Chains A and B, each alone.
Chain A
Amino acid sequence: MDVSQYLDIFIDETKEHLQNLNEHLLVLEREPENENTINEIFRAAHSLKGMSATMGFTRMQRLTHDMENVLSEIRNGKMKVSSDLVDILFRGLDALEEYLANIQATSSEGEEDNEDIINALNDILKGKKAETAEAAKAEAAKAAGKNENVQQAEATGDSSKMKFKSIKFEEHEKKAIVKAGMMDLNVIGVTVYLAETCMLKGARAFMINRAMEEHGEIIKLYPCAQDLEDEKYDYDYSAFLITKETPEVIVNAIMKVSEVKEAVADYIKLSDDDIASNAEAIKKEEDTAPVKLFTDTGNAKQSQAASQKSTTKQLTNRSVRVDIDKLDVLMNLVSELIIAKNGLVSRSSEIMELQDAAFREQIEYLERVTTNIHEAVMKTRMVPIESVVNRFPRMIRDLSKQLNKEIELYMSGEDTELDRTVIDEIGDPLMHLLRNAADHGLESAEERRRLGKNPVGSIYLNAYQDGNSVVIEVKDDGGGINIEKIKKVAIQRGVITEEQAQRMEEKDVIDLLFRPSFSTSDKVTEVSGRGVGLDVVKTKIEALGGEIEARSKLGEGSSFIIRLPLTLAIIQSLMVVIGGEKYALPLGNIQSVEEIAKEEIKTIQGKEVINLRGNVIPIIRLGKILGCEKPKQETDDLLVIIVKKGSRLAGMVVDELIGQLEIVYKSIGKYIKGHKIISGATILGNGEIALILDVNSLV
């Protein structure tokens, strides 16, 4: 069979599985007893094995097979999870990633057999055989102690088979259960075991569920309905249903479906606490709305399916994979549409006959639609930042071993979305900052103890949307940036003079870090400190149209704040006239527009400044910088646009304001090497070109 046409899908799915494995292995290391995690890992490894075998990648298959063997022992409770074991599994994952990289580059998995990893895996299997009996005993004891939320009323049948008893409920599910109890209905938990010869597990599960639904309402499935359908389970699964019947009736109904090996069922009761708290909540609801049990549980089922979906991150069924080039074409078309729309708007305002209300209304309607189309297309290009940051926990784990520091990484806002082009580029700079934080930012554990800090260092990676930009913050609770040390190094290297150093503000000193070849680390380590650090990060971020800023407090830690535009292609901007020429200023940077009387401009140390509501703000004459030929006659009042970069302000003097406009960013190409203030150009409604000013470069 020719499988080459499936190669892209294979690569995509393998990536997903590997990421999944990486994440869950990290969890497993921290919670070695977490059964869900073990199952998830096992399932992912199993799928990987099957997929690579189908595609004919035998080395990959062999490695996953041996990893699966070890995982299977863990899952069956015959082996304990140790740090060494996780290390070997991680090495296995790295090897698999290498295979994948090879496959991506050359369509072949390469020649590396990774014999050492396979041997290590097999050694573990042999070594642990002796301990299995003991481990199994311990595992059984653990399993018995696990029933926290679910308590059984009276046991019927073999309790160890009743896997549903160890499944925890979400709040809304608990509510449904309590409600059922109030209506004198039974809540029954079921675990179904399929025959191992069963071929179509998805279809079989569906038939079983239908049989159960004849007797009541299923409120929860474990694994979730989607996973059951996709056959992402082994040979057993659990269900909870609200019914008038007894467990025996349900079991009988299930057993009528063929290929079912066994089914066990029992009543479910919640702990008294749960009942009390939920009953209260229900009562409150009853005051406002009459109880409709079945619709309510139906909703619960739906929302449960939804929440399950988001947590398992398996959105494949609801999405289509689209080539990024196609999206680019679409985006370009939208850009042209906006240019055409702007043309129509500007023409219509010139023609008197078109000044009636009905026409204006249509124009406004068109404007709204184009803006919405733009937003919609932009959203299709948006990717959660998660796809970049999800490899960081693993990286920090490795770093923590490598540097012999205890590090905890806290991430938030992984669902923050950014344009695809930005996502592809942001990974390296972030990795750099995290490495810096781990290596230079955090002190060693001994040092931290001495300072009375928590010996475990914390690194935070926070992402969030702020207006039209996305902010990503890398923060550590280490020693902070040593201002004096930077000054010393800068003087040594001749970057600044001693005199300058004394006058410099803290902020300016920190900015020195972003200069090329500036590393203050005393020793160059494997992790970072080769002097190609922050300046590269800064260049990259700025190339993406963003900015980076560092803040620090000595002894308390430092943070790097990256601000990126949501999209690169279409920007809201303020159109201005400077020396008779039209320019666009991105709205994102603009703080306010002020009219300043000429006398208010003071000259301090040869620089023009104004005092605006207590802030001393430097004034920049854009006309002079842009070399405009005919400076406008100076009037008594100057139009000053206050722009903000990080925490700095500056006032830009312009001659005239035209208004706000949605503009399409166009590069001016590589032939012209213009002023660095010019970041690009845009085509106006009348076909004219206006240049886009990057005022940040002046602040």
Chain B
Amino acid sequence: MAAENLKQYIIVYLNSKKYGINIQYIDSIIFMQKITRVPGAQDYFMGVINLRGEVVPVMSLKKRLGLPEEEYGSKARIIIIRPEPQAACVGLVVDQVKEVITLEEDSIEKMSYDESDEKAQFNAGIGKVEDDLIDLLNITAITRT
């Protein structure tokens, strides 16, 4: 019963902080695997992986958001994102995938941001869940490399 004003988000952890990714962009979630480094790539790209016979680039979401990066544990996952229905996939590495939540449009607060700050564009709003605040990610901006 997905009403029009309901949106589903996957909650992921980056350095123990919660972030929300709109479920519409998500193709699949896979275990961490060997990532082949690509020399000369943007620093937030960890490399490429073999996803069912296709070569998919993988990004460190932490680095992309300007967060400090540490070793990934056993709970780390790669979220395979398809920014547009026909576009190629790209992977985002996160520390942990927690749960799926449903937010009403009313409980999403839009943030005003400074156009010149690239990092600020990565925020798509703040989601209010009970007394928790979740940073909702702007996937389109993040994958626009």
**Could you say which residues of chain B place their CB within 8 Å of the CB of A669?**
55-57, 88, 90
Question: B71 within 8 Å of A by Cβ?
Answer: no
Contact of B145 among A336, A628, A671, A675 (CB under 8 A): A671
The interface bits of chain A over 657-673 (1 if a CB of B lies within 8 angstroms of the residue's CB, else 0) are: 00000000011111111
**Nearest-Cβ distance from residue B40 to partner chain A, whole angstroms:** 3
**Could you say which residues of chain B place their CB within 8 Å of the CB of A625?**
39
**Nearest-Cβ distance from residue B108 to partner chain A, whole angstroms:** 27
Q: A669-B90, A672-B145, A688-B50 are in contact. Are A681 and B40 (CB under 8 A)?
A: no
Contact of B53 among A339, A674, A675 (CB under 8 A): A339
How many Å lie between the Cα of A670 and that of B143 in the bound state? 11
The interface bits of chain B over 81-93 (1 if a CB of A lies within 8 angstroms of the residue's CB, else 0) are: 0000000101000
The interface bits of chain B over 30-46 (1 if a CB of A lies within 8 angstroms of the residue's CB, else 0) are: 00001011111110010
Contact of A689 among B39, B40, B41, B55 (CB under 8 A): B55
How many Å lie between the Cα of A675 and that of B56 in the bound state? 17
**Nearest-Cβ distance from residue A658 to partner chain B, whole angstroms:** 15
User: Which chain A residues in 581-622 approach chain B with CB under 8 Å?
Assistant: 581
Question: A687 within 8 Å of B by Cβ?
Answer: yes
B40 adjacent to A674 (CB under 8 Å): yes
**Could you say which residues of chain A place their CB within 8 Å of the CB of B34?**
688
A681 adjacent to B36 (CB under 8 Å): yes
Question: B54 within 8 Å of A by Cβ?
Answer: yes
**Nearest-Cβ distance from residue B26 to partner chain A, whole angstroms:** 16
Q: Which size bracket describes the interface of B in this complex?
A: 20 to 34
A674 adjacent to B145 (CB under 8 Å): no
A672 adjacent to B36 (CB under 8 Å): no
How many Å lie between the Cα of A672 and that of B40 in the bound state? 9
B90 adjacent to A626 (CB under 8 Å): no
Question: B61 within 8 Å of A by Cβ?
Answer: no
Q: Which residue of A lies closest to B36 (CB)?
A: A689
User: Which chain B residues in 95-112 approach chain A with CB under 8 Å?
Assistant: none
B36 adjacent to A688 (CB under 8 Å): yes
Q: Of A676, A677, A687, which is in contact with the most chain B CB atoms at under 10 Å from its CB? A: A687
How many Å lie between the Cα of A445 and that of B38 in the bound state? 55
Question: A418 within 8 Å of B by Cβ?
Answer: no
Question: A691 within 8 Å of B by Cβ?
Answer: yes
How many Å lie between the Cα of A672 and that of B57 in the bound state? 7
A627 adjacent to B40 (CB under 8 Å): yes
Question: A167 within 8 Å of B by Cβ?
Answer: no
How many Å lie between the Cα of A683 and that of B33 in the bound state? 14
Question: B23 within 8 Å of A by Cβ?
Answer: no
Question: A389 within 8 Å of B by Cβ?
Answer: no
How many Å lie between the Cα of A669 and that of B143 in the bound state? 12
B39 adjacent to A672 (CB under 8 Å): no
How many Å lie between the Cα of A628 and that of B37 in the bound state? 9
User: Which chain B residues in 46-82 approach chain A with CB under 8 Å?
Assistant: 48-50, 53-57, 59
**Could you say which residues of chain B place their CB within 8 Å of the CB of A626?**
39-40
Q: A339-B53, A672-B57 are in contact. Are A678 and B39 (CB under 8 A)?
A: yes
A678 adjacent to B40 (CB under 8 Å): yes
Q: A673-B145, A678-B40, A691-B38 are in contact. Are A666 and B55 (CB under 8 A)?
A: yes
How many Å lie between the Cα of A24 and that of B128 in the bound state? 76
Q: A669-B88, A672-B38, A678-B38 are in contact. Are A689 and B48 (CB under 8 A)?
A: yes
- Counted as pairs of residues, one from A and one from B, with CB atoms less than 8 Å apart, the total is 76
B42 adjacent to A681 (CB under 8 Å): no
**Could you say which residues of chain B place their CB within 8 Å of the CB of A689?**
36, 48-50, 55
How many Å lie between the Cα of A20 and that of B69 in the bound state? 66
The interface bits of chain A over 609-652 (1 if a CB of B lies within 8 angstroms of the residue's CB, else 0) are: 00000000000000001111000000000000000000000000
**Nearest-Cβ distance from residue B140 to partner chain A, whole angstroms:** 13
The interface bits of chain B over 130-145 (1 if a CB of A lies within 8 angstroms of the residue's CB, else 0) are: 0000000000000101
Question: A26 within 8 Å of B by Cβ?
Answer: no
Q: Which residue of A lies closest to B54 (CB)?
A: A666
A683 adjacent to B53 (CB under 8 Å): yes
Question: A363 within 8 Å of B by Cβ?
Answer: no
How many Å lie between the Cα of A680 and that of B36 in the bound state? 12
Q: A668-B48, A669-B55 are in contact. Are A690 and B90 (CB under 8 A)?
A: no
Q: Which residue of B lies closest to A669 (CB)?
A: B88
Q: A671-B143, A672-B48, A672-B145 are in contact. Are A691 and B53 (CB under 8 A)?
A: no
Contact of B41 among A581, A670, A674 (CB under 8 A): A674
**Could you say which residues of chain B place their CB within 8 Å of the CB of A339?**
53
Q: Of A628, A675, A681, which is in contact with the most chain B CB atoms at under 10 Å from its CB? A: A681
A674 adjacent to B38 (CB under 8 Å): yes
Q: A671-B145, A672-B45, A689-B49 are in contact. Are A627 and B39 (CB under 8 A)?
A: yes
How many Å lie between the Cα of A670 and that of B86 in the bound state? 14
How many Å lie between the Cα of A505 and that of B55 in the bound state? 42
**Could you say which residues of chain B place their CB within 8 Å of the CB of A678?**
38-40
**Nearest-Cβ distance from residue A482 to partner chain B, whole angstroms:** 38
B57 adjacent to A668 (CB under 8 Å): yes
How many Å lie between the Cα of A334 and that of B120 in the bound state? 45
A675 adjacent to B40 (CB under 8 Å): yes
B53 adjacent to A336 (CB under 8 Å): yes
How many Å lie between the Cα of A678 and that of B130 in the bound state? 49
**Could you say which residues of chain A place their CB within 8 Å of the CB of B37?**
581
**Nearest-Cβ distance from residue A21 to partner chain B, whole angstroms:** 41
Q: A671-B45, A683-B53 are in contact. Are A690 and B36 (CB under 8 A)?
A: yes
**Could you say which residues of chain A place their CB within 8 Å of the CB of B57?**
668-669, 671-672
How many Å lie between the Cα of A539 and that of B33 in the bound state? 36
**Nearest-Cβ distance from residue A417 to partner chain B, whole angstroms:** 28
How many Å lie between the Cα of A674 and that of B47 in the bound state? 10
Contact of A687 among B39, B50, B145 (CB under 8 A): B50
How many Å lie between the Cα of A668 and that of B90 in the bound state? 10
The contact sample of 25 A-B pairs, CB cut-off 8 A, is: A336-B53, A339-B53, A581-B36, A626-B39, A627-B39, A668-B38, A668-B57, A669-B55, A669-B90, A670-B88, A672-B38, A672-B41, A672-B42, A672-B57, A673-B42, A674-B39, A674-B40, A675-B40, A675-B41, A678-B38, A681-B36, A683-B53, A688-B34, A689-B49, A690-B36
- 5 new A-B contacts, CB < 8 A, other than A681-B55, A688-B34, A689-B55, are A581-B37, A625-B39, A669-B55, A672-B41, A690-B36
The 6 residue pairs across chains A and B that have the minimum distance between CB atoms: A675-B40, A689-B36, A626-B39, A666-B55, A674-B38, A674-B41
Chain B residues in contact with chain A, CB under 8 A?
Answer: 34, 36-42, 45, 48-50, 53-57, 59, 88, 90, 143, 145
